[in-house]
Amino acid sequence: DAMVIQNPRYQVTQFGKPVTLSCSQTLNHNVMYWYQQKSSQAPKLLFHYYDKDFNNEADTPDNFQSRRPNTSFCFLDIRSPGLGDAAMYLCATSRVDIYEQYFGPGTRLTVT
Amino acid sequence: GNSVTQMEGPVTLSEEAFLTINCTYTATGYPSLFWYVQYPGEGLQLLLKATKADDKGSNKGFEATYRKETTSFHLEKGSVQVSDSAVYFCALMGSNSGYALNFGKGTSLLVTP
């Protein structure tokens, strides 16, 4: 089945220690997104890629970076995680001509 | 800017009860509207969508109608099951906001046997 895969499902990192979260897709979608979802809150878009074009949301902290080396993969880098960055990170994909976004299962990040 | 307002939860219902979760929105232009469901420990799944006024989205017994006159997209199900227990998010994609989804805060539903 075509799908969106996120690895790892659970990640524990130390305060200030860089961490990378991974997303891959077999849907061949043009657009890939990263959302942050804190406990009992709505997902918040951090940024998205339309093919190789990177689009950052205005209020996304500089601490968050992203890479998309090819159509299938997208990475979220947190350069210096703080306690406030503990959250579920959701990757999603869509085709440019269809509005539906397909979500991965998420990576739950804990910062100690 | 675009925004979505959902009724506060948690909502607790007995099995086979009727469900309504209210959702209203603010947007310029002609947004597309969505309901997503999130089961415990999982990512979001698209439940249903409507892309223009008066469209009705439906899936798995759930329905929602895009009402432009009342800027609403209320989710309904005639008879809920225990397996419907989850968090439900209303969302919109604005016609002039690129690809961003604006989510409501989510409504937690618990269905008891």
Would you state the pLDDT for residue B107? 96
Q: Which of B30, B66, B99 to mutate to test the interface with A (most CBs of A within 10 A)?
A: B99
Bridge-based pairing state of the strands B23-26 and A19-25: unpaired
Q: How many contacts (CB atoms, under 8 Å) link A and B?
A: 50
pLDDT, tens digit, 9 for 90 and up, residues B43-87: 899 999 999 999 999 999 999 999 999 999 999 999 999 999 999
CA distance linking residue A108 with residue A90, whole number of Å = 9
Restricting to B residues 16-35, those with a Cβ less than 8 Å away from any Cβ of A are: 32, 34
For residue A83, the SS3 value is: helix
How distant is the Cα of B21 from the closest Cα of chain A, in angstroms? 16
Restricting to A residues 13-52, those with a Cβ less than 8 Å away from any Cβ of B are: 31, 33, 40-45, 48, 50
Q: Is the alpha carbon torsion for A90, B103, B28, B72 positive or negative?
A: positive
Q: B101: which chain A residues are within 8 Å (Cβ-Cβ)? A: 43, 45, 101
Give backbone dihedrals phi and psi of A18, rounded to 5 degrees, phi first: -55, 145
Look up residue A18 and give its two tokens. Answer: 């860089």
Q: Is the alpha carbon torsion for A95, A101, A102, A106 positive or negative?
A: positive
Task: Classify residue B83 by its DSSP letter.
Answer: G
Answer whether residue B1 shows pLDDT above 90: no
Answer whether residue B96 shows pLDDT above 90: no
Cross-chain Cβ contact B46/A102 below 8 Å = yes
Lowest mean pLDDT among A51-60, A76-85, A95-104, B69-78: A95-104
Q: Which of A45, A50, A95 to mutate to test the interface with B (most CBs of B within 10 A)?
A: A45
Q: Which H helix or E strand runs over B35?
A: strand B32-38
CA distance linking residue B92 with residue B24, whole number of Å = 10
Inter-residue contact B66 to B84 (CB < 8 Å): no
pLDDT, tens digit, 9 for 90 and up, residues A16-31: 999 999 999 999 999 9
For residue B77, the cross-strand partners are B19, B62
Round to the nearest angstrom and report the end-to-end CA distance of chain A: 36
Give backbone dihedrals phi and psi of A70, rounded to 5 degrees, phi first: -155, 180
Q: Which residues contact B32 (CB under 8 A, 6 or more apart)?
A: A99, B49, B50, B51, B92, B93, B95
